[in-house]
Structure 1
Amino acid sequence: MRAPAALAPLRHPVFRALWLANLASNTGLFIQNTAAGWLMTSLDGRPIMVSLVQASSMLPVFLLALPAGALADIMDRRHFLIAAQLWMTAVSFLLCLLTFGDALSPWGLIALTFALGAGLAMSFPAWAATTPEIVPREDLVGAIALNGIGFNLTRAVGPAMGGMVIAWAGVGAAFLLNALCILVLVAVLLGWRRESARSRLPRERMMPAMRAGTRYVLATPAMHAAIIRAVTFFLFSSAVWGLLPLVVREELGLGPEAFGILLGCMGAGAVCAGLFLPRARALTDRGGLVMFSSLLGAGAMALLGLVPHWSAAALAMVVYGVAWIAAASTLQAAAQMAAPAWVRARAIGIYQMSFFGALALGSALSGVLAGRVGVPLAMTVFAGCAALGAVLVRRWPLDPPTFAPVPEAALARPEPPAPELRGLLHGGERRLMEVVRYRIPPGRRSAFLAAMEQVRLVRLRGGAASWRLYEDVAHPERWVELWTIESWAEHLREASRLTEEDRAVLARATLLHEGDGPPEAARYVNVRS
């Protein structure tokens, strides 16, 4: 019997082993989240404190995603991931000990939840960048979708399991179970023999790597669209995570088992939706799917806030799970496909920083609002804002633009450096200025300016610290493009960072040049600041 197409990436042994280990680890994560949220309702039941538990688990991603992404791009990702998992294991054991000893205060719970979130924040970009190196390109989209299905499968099982563990053995046992689940993933990572790519260039340093990642995202419209749409969706959808413990305890009058089951309903809806997402994506583009999912999620939130009955709450959470996985996986795929391998972890880190920051802020704001107007009205207000936001941001397209084929063109190439300057270039971090001179007939001026706007983005994505275009006031047909690079090593990396689309952009501008050969190119090194 042939396996479903959605499971095809599991035929790759490394991906399969890591995927199964992540199932165990993520199950522990949701057990931990369920236990922490429920414990806070006993330690301090004020809405703001309950919502701060969720916010404190998400805030570290906002603070650490960019440095985590830079480290994941410049270090061995396997070692980096092992260190992050061991940190989370230690924090989980500490939570267990303090809970069993009845020594955990409300702010202590928030602080340790933040520390656990810091480990997750360091892991997320590395995991996102690891998937493309353990599956071939033809299975990449399927692997991303399967990761989402696995994550939401544990979202269905973990909270329900957490509710049962809390009811039978207490919150401390739930924290202990989380630590043991993380150790399963550590064991698999220790057995993974990752082949690291070797380069003759020196390893990137932390701060330049972070700056390069930031420049890439700022110069990539596809990343802008993914981030704007994600922030809008997650900011208002976060009310469910911040207020659900209070909905269960105060509005429904139920216990931890029901809390876990409702979270399990959300996960079940997400898993079912994940299996049918390929068919849904064939019916509409990414932007349309995200907008529909946002409106669906807003309706589920309104139902959760307005109808105080467990059956309506269960239905609302199933629908919310469908909306969540459809929007989240589509946005994640759009961001991941917009970033090449050299910067993928950093770009995904910035994307995750944006949407986790929105989740943390939204969770906290929902708690503040619920403290003033009550949980049902706060949930309804956030639902209305989610629907309005989905309509307002629909003009940012998530699908990449299509370009007409471009004829091959000889791109500008500078001369090799003089032997007497090689020591100067390799001996420090001296800034370089790169120059390309064009001769453009007056009739091509408008087309050239349009083409150079795209060239500007290519240079900035490749690592340029600044970019300028000048026109000769005496000879309007003469143009000079110049940009600066932080060092010779960054300049050498610049060429390797060009994608096929980038080369096509440069070719369009080159074809507008009038002359016997390509535009003239030169490089200048800074000798005095």
Structure 2
Amino acid sequence: MLWMASLASNVGLWVQNTGAGWLMTSLAPSPLMVSLVQAATMLPVFLFALPAGALADILDRRLYLIAAQGWITLVALLLAALTATGGLGPWGLIALTFAIGVGQAANFPAWAATTPELVPREDLVGAIALNGIGFNLARAVGPALGGFVIAALGVAAAFALNAVTFLALIAALLAWRRPRPSAVLPKEHFLGAMRAGVRFVAASPPMHAAILRACAFFFFTAAVWALLPLVVRERLGLGPDAFGLMLAAMGLGSVATGFVLPRIGARLRERGRTVFAASLLSGAAVALLGLATHWVPAALAMVVFGAAWIGAASTLQTAAQLASPAWVRARAIGIYQLSFFGALALGSVLWGWVGSAFGLPLALGAAGVLGAAAAVAVRGWRLDPAPAAGGSDALAVPMPRPEDADAELARLLAAGRSGRVLEVVRYRIDPADRAAFLRAMAEVRRVRQRGGALLWRLYEDIAHPERWVELWAVESWTEHLREADRMTEEDRATLARAAALHRGDGPPEAARYLNVVPEEG
């Protein structure tokens, strides 16, 4: 039900995007102004994806999604009314397109984080691919529908149709009976939730790879979104129905590739190889579009571009999803989307300026060549995590366990009155294992930071080089308690590998300290 409703709303968004791009070619037909329509669609995700992800993680996700769709519906109706009455200028179009983009920015991370709630983990990759197929099926149908609606009824009708499709999604969300997750600890505060999301992504190498490779792909492919309306109108000499059909050709390539993408990924074996191949293919398609002066090679370029787009976008989205545990998923996906939509927005403006200054063929050709070069440059960043040494055997190692809190302090902590908490683990390491211990602790540092550590330090005793002290601090006692909930099996295995190097009668000694400000005088 939710998938079909989302398909309907995505069709509406593509009708909206087609109408906005085509309307701007009449209101202000310069490459820069047309590209600003695409930038206005994408820029809100760059600005608001992180706070939107934090809200999606700490609020009731169903109600949050309903509010986001309601906002998009209201703005779409306003856009339709102003267009129908002739009261919309080029900057008004950009402003209302930006407002719809704000609703999309609120929607994207919440919707992505909802997918794992609807399917079991073993079906997650297939579900993400199915979402991609739905999105690109909408891309195939929406622009073509938008082109025909614009030609038959005008741009205002296209904007009104977008509002109607979002009503269908609101109805589906109202019918969804989402189980309420059980929570022992209090909800995170908004600013603290954003900080925790940033710390998680900063300490997650798989997220770094997904973000970098997404930026390298989407920055250069943004040239197609920025310049396609002008390619159709000026280079091909065609109308809005042809513009819709060009976007439909891209959607057709995306849908066809989406069905065989799992087979392609299995043959290439690594997600990074899939993204690399898609990047080279998109570079060739963008360059071909720049050279085309007839609709046949232009349509072929769009089909190939759609195939490359779904290959890269779905694979990168899967990598980011699998790198994010449930507690931080919407925030991590929000930061990922912030990055690639920021690259799209910046790329749209840049390639629009290049098209204005040097012409459409040179802009698209340069984007294609430089996009392929960027894919080669970032190829070394792995999307697939390296297999961990030690495996499940490390989990049998006794783990450090601090003593329970003193009764008097426990009452203080239960009341929520605590400042920072310093956590300490003391190790005894054979000097011969020093290098292995330092390698293990480099991974431990990332585990602590992903769990909420504000700072992390490792000290070696000068007089007794076998003695080591690990220190890290968290914001409060509640944040300390959240550390255990945030830890994955991979994180526990990492800590166990470090503890396995400890030489002593028992596990490493652990302790916790509260930050206390001494009274003056």
Shared fold, TM over 0.5? yes
Alignment of 1:231-380 (within 5 A): 231-284=215-268, 285-380=270-365
Aligned residue among 377, 385, 409 for 1:421: 409
Correspondence for 1:441? 430
Is the partner of 2:92 in helix, strand or coil? helix
Q: Shift of the alpha carbon at 1:429?
A: 4.9
Correspondence for 2:513? 524
Aligned residue among 179, 182, 185 for 2:169: 185
Aligned residue among 375, 380, 383 for 1:395: 380
Correspondence for 1:90? 74
Deviations 1:207-249 (A, max 9, x none): 1111111111010100000000000000000000000000000
Is the partner of 2:278 in helix, strand or coil? helix
Q: Shift of the alpha carbon at 1:423?
A: 3.5
Q: Shift of the alpha carbon at 1:474?
A: 1.1
Correspondence for 1:110? 94
Is the partner of 2:423 in helix, strand or coil? strand
Unaligned runs of 5+ in 2: none
Aligned residue among 483, 487, 492 for 1:494: 483
Unaligned runs of 5+ in 1: 1-16
TM-score by length of 1: 0.96
Would you say the 8 A contact 2:77–2:163 is kept in 1? yes
Separation of aligned partners in 2, 1:416 and 1:464 = 20
Aligned residue among 47, 66, 84 for 1:100: 84
Correspondence for 1:485? 474
Aligned residue among 428, 441, 448 for 1:452: 441
Separation of aligned partners in 2, 1:513 and 1:332 = 39
Q: What is the one-letter code of the residue matched to 1:381?
A: A
Correspondence for 1:175? 159
Deviations 1:64-109 (A, max 9, x none): 0000101111111000000000000000000000000100010100
**Residue 15 (structure 2) pairs with residue 27 (structure 1):** no
Correspondence for 1:78? 62
Q: What is the one-letter code of the residue matched to 2:401?
A: R
Percent of aligned pairs sharing the same letter? 65
Is the partner of 1:202 in helix, strand or coil? coil
Q: What is the one-letter code of the residue matched to 1:526?
A: N
Deviations 1:151-178 (A, max 9, x none): 0000000000000000000000000000
Is the partner of 2:53 in helix, strand or coil? helix
TM-score by length of 2: 0.98
Separation of aligned partners in 2, 1:402 and 1:359 = 33
Separation of aligned partners in 1, 2:166 and 2:398 = 53
Alignment of 1:157-176 (within 5 A): 157-176=141-160
Correspondence for 1:14? none
Deviations 1:239-265 (A, max 9, x none): 000000000001111000000000000
Correspondence for 1:13? none
Q: Shift of the alpha carbon at 1:424?
A: 3.0
Number of residues of Structure 1 aligned to a counterpart in Structure 2: 513
Separation of aligned partners in 1, 2:145 and 2:481 = 52
Separation of aligned partners in 1, 2:102 and 2:418 = 32
Tell me the C-alpha RMSD between the 2 structures.
0.8
Separation of aligned partners in 2, 1:141 and 1:444 = 39
Separation of aligned partners in 2, 1:117 and 1:127 = 15
Q: Shift of the alpha carbon at 1:278?
A: 1.0
Separation of aligned partners in 1, 2:508 and 2:227 = 61
Is the partner of 1:200 in helix, strand or coil? coil
Correspondence for 2:504? 515
Q: Shift of the alpha carbon at 1:376?
A: 1.2
Correspondence for 2:41? 57
1:429–1:25 distance in 2 versus 1, CA, 3 Å: farther
Aligned residue among 442, 457, 471 for 2:460: 471
Separation of aligned partners in 1, 2:53 and 2:4 = 24
Q: Shift of the alpha carbon at 1:395?
A: 0.4
